[in-house]
Amino acid sequence: MYFKSKKMNSKIALVILNYNGEKLFPVFLPSVIEHSTNDFTEIIIADNASTDNSIDYLKSNYPTIRRIELTQNHGFAEGYNQALDILKLEKQFDYYILLNSDVEVTQNWLNPILEIFEHDTEKNISAIQPKIRMHAHKHLFEHAGAAGGMIDYLGYPFCRGRIFDTLEEDKGQYNNQIPIFWATGAAMAIRAEVYHNLGGLDKDFFAHMEEIDLCWRIHHTGKNIVYCPKSTVFHLGGGTLNPMSERKTYLNFRNGLTLLLKNLPSKNLFFKIYFRMLLDGLAGIKFLLDGKPKFTLAIIKAHFYMYANLSSILAKRKDNQKKFGNLKLPSIVYSKSIVWQYFAKKNKTFDKLEN
């Protein structure tokens, strides 16, 4: 039985951004259709100018599903911006759900999310993330989001249920609804007005960590992001980009530095960036020792990107300062180094982290 909004007219746009994901549609789209077809949700496929047969497949097998066909591959960030800007003009959606094309959803997954939004009459909650477990090993939390995204003071993201490469089994230990720092772009629900008021995702990120940047801007407004344990989805991960590729390594290190430069408070900014770059250097050395020189090169390229684009990144920082005033570190940020906790202290699960 579907939850009925008090307003009776709240509407969700469930938008799946696709790029060459034809092979994923027969595996994942049926669950989305089965468990998301209702009177308050419209399923939309936004195609990032795929070069495979994605569009033909959709036309033949799901002709009634709405498509937004973009003219080029804008990447994750700008792809969503372009699609959601089109939906904004229609003025009919209260909430957006950004859903990866390699996510299987479950029965009744939308209801708890909508309930949180609708019961939050003061609109203090801007975004929500469901519980995310692995598609291949469904008892384990998944890398992208798990039971809610967190971040340490040096900008290293981690999750309840996943720190670096350690995935926890879901034993109900994270079945409490709590505020989190970031919601994954693999399955993020967000108020439409918030998305557009904040300018959407930063297109220069292209892909990876752009949702963390958006969530950080939400925190700058004083609003919250919460984890919804009553809603569960299963994520394949790496559906359109190899999770062990040099490209992903480059994007993660590049965007991590950009994230900090845009959002950290001015106090100790230089020290934190410098220390973060030192840790990046250690990661590069480890890649060399592991026989992965291409990954080391990816980190070097990420740093040179920052040098070459420092003025434009700092301009975005100034924009944030104009919009939000003095940038402050949200209290939810983990005050210790997750790198030190994990590698030196061997605290590899969330419950073992030192306060």
Residue range 42-87, pLDDT digits in tens: 999 999 999 999 999 999 999 999 999 999 999 999 999 999 999 9
Does the pLDDT value for residue 8 go beyond 80?
no
Is the model more confident about 128 or about 7?
128
Does the pLDDT value for residue 200 go beyond 60?
yes
Task: Identify whether the C-beta of residue 199 lies closer than 8 Å to the C-beta of residue 323.
Answer: no
- Residue 9 pLDDT: 74
Encode pLDDT of 98-131 as tens digits. Answer: 999 999 999 999 999 999 999 999 999 999 999 9
Please state the φ and ψ torsions of residue 135, each to the nearest 5 degrees: -75, -35
Does the pLDDT value for residue 348 go beyond 90?
yes
Q: pTM for this one?
A: 0.95
Encode pLDDT of 214-228 as tens digits. Answer: 999 999 999 999 999
Encode pLDDT of 227-249 as tens digits. Answer: 999 999 999 986 555 556 899 99
Domains of the chain in start order, with CATH, are: 12-235 (3.90.550.10), 246-352 (no CATH)
Maximum pairwise Cα distance, the chain: 59
Q: What percent of the chain has a predicted confidence (pLDDT) above 70?
A: 96
Mean pLDDT rounded to a whole number for the chain: 95
Give the integer Cα–Cα distance in Å for 239 and 268. Answer: 38
Q: Measured in whole angstroms, how far is the alpha carbon of residue 254 from the centre of its chain?
A: 16
Residues 6+ apart with CB under 8 A from 141: 131, 132, 133, 134, 147, 159, 161, 162, 167, 168, 169, 170, 174
DSSP 239-258: SSS-TT-HHHHHHHHHHHHH
pLDDT average, residue stretch 26-36: 98
- Residue 2 pLDDT: 47
- Residue 1 pLDDT: 41
Encode pLDDT of 257-283 as tens digits. Answer: 999 999 999 999 999 999 999 999 999
User: Helices (H) and strands (E) in the chain — how many of each?
Assistant: 11, 12
